[in-house]
Amino acid sequence: AYCGAKAAIRGFTDAVRTELMHENSGVSIAMVQMPGLNTPQFEWARNKFAWAMRPVPPVFQPEVAAQAIFNVARRPVRELWVGSSTIQSIIGQFLFPGFLDRLMVKKAWEGQMTRRLNADDRQDYLEQPVSGLHKTHGRFSSEAKYRATAITSGVPGKALLGGAAAAGVLLAKWFISRKKR
């Protein structure tokens, strides 16, 4: 359901962006793709699994997300990918979707489960607020990182074009040097 919702958000964001551009509105809309964050969502979100859930490693502190969003608000981009795992997942999905699906089955599925069973009386906030859990950090602070690599969605395409241009120049030099012989 989560991945389906993310795909719907991407489609909605792209549609709104083009409408805003058509109207010359001056409003920018960006999508910020986040890695696993150390937030309390894993303590209060509904979970039907027997095992307690966790963010898929590597885990980052919420301040990483806040800084990324702040930076995009100050300097709008179409899309920002935060964290090496996010970058690898998105590029992998473009280049090798079948392989990435199989990799996610092995790594992401088990990577989001802890070895701790959920308590029988565990509360969640689906139908009513949970008291006492209002905080910004979750229970994964010991492993959460405070810094993350971030790139815009245009970087891989530019790198590919740059690589193709460099390969073209090298190929042209090679052909020219062969003709001189």
Q: What is the pLDDT of residues 69-88, one digit of tens each?
A: 999 999 999 999 999 999 99
Break the chain into its structural domains and give their ranges: 30-165
pLDDT on residue 133: 62
Mean predicted confidence (pLDDT) in 100-107: 86
Q: At what angle do helices 84-95 and 97-111 cross, to 10 degrees?
A: 140
List, for residues 16-37, the tens digit of each pLDDT value: 999 999 999 999 999 999 999 9
Query: Is pLDDT larger for residue 38 or for residue 106?
Result: 38
Contacts of 180 (CB under 8 A, 6+ apart): none
> Would you say 151 and 86 are in contact if contact means Cβ atoms under 8 Å apart?
no
pLDDT per residue over 152-162, tens digit each?
888 877 877 88
Mean per-residue pLDDT, 56-71 = 97
